[in-house]
Chain A
Amino acid sequence: NAGVTQTPKFQVLKTGQSMTLQCAQDMNHNSMYWYRQDPGMGLRLIYYSASEGTTDKGEVPNGYNVSRLNKREFSLRLESAAPSQTSVYFCASSAQSSYNSPLHFGNGTRLTVT
């Protein structure tokens, strides 16, 4: 059981380049999330998708776009990368869009923007 799978694991971009982070879950979860993790700041929500076909902004959405391709997949796109987007990105999923479903995380993508 793979759980939540993220690709790539590492990425280095130059300022202005674009890229898409991929995420897939095989737990038949309805809700999916993208977080960024920065030292001393915990995890901050970028975007989430409560169910297939819906997406909503989180705490720090600027500079990002998302696509809920189907129930399994939720991608995060950086259209024009900036050094401030250097971070570790985690995808997560939960069984349902209610607040008592814990999050299940992927292994993360470490992104460096130079």
Chain B
Amino acid sequence: AQSVSQHNHHVILSEAASLELGCNYSYGGTVNLFWYVQYPGQHLQLLLKYFSGDPLVKGIKGFEAEFIKSKFSFNLRKPSVQWSDTAEYFCAVNAGGQNFVFGPGTRLSVLP
């Protein structure tokens, strides 16, 4: 069965610091990869997605992610975080059909 792991449970950063959140998945075939963000009290929103092509994908709000197939990884990055980025971030993988598998989430706290 597929699984998704996220390296950090809770990350605390100061504003303007750089961010990298790790995501690894276990599936050997073709996958589609997603990062979702959940702001406090809100629903999950799509940040970015990778289907094929350029392994470096750019999403909303200055986020980007890099797909490294050999490492089964899809890490999320942002050069300079803002207080408004405080949220929970979920990596998700889909390898076919309805089977979206989500990671456990990483809570990001950005200190002003």
Contact = CB atoms under 8 A, between A and B. Distances in A.
Nearest to B31: A99
Nearest to B42: A107
Nearest to B51: A100
Contact of B96 (A4, A40, A44, A99): A99
Q: Which of B36, B51, B102 has the most CB of A within 10 A?
A: B102
Range of interface residues on chain B? 20 to 34
B97 interface: yes
Interface of A: 4, 31, 33, 35, 40-45, 48, 50, 56, 58, 90, 97, 99-100, 102-108
Given A4-B43, A41-B104, 8 more contacts: A40-B105, A58-B98, A90-B44, A99-B95, A99-B97, A105-B43, A105-B45, A107-B42
27 contacts: A33-B100, A40-B105, A41-B104, A42-B4, A42-B102, A42-B104, A43-B90, A43-B92, A43-B102, A44-B102, A48-B98, A50-B97, A58-B98, A90-B44, A97-B98, A99-B32, A99-B97, A100-B32, A100-B94, A102-B49, A103-B34, A103-B36, A103-B100, A105-B36, A105-B43, A106-B43, A107-B42
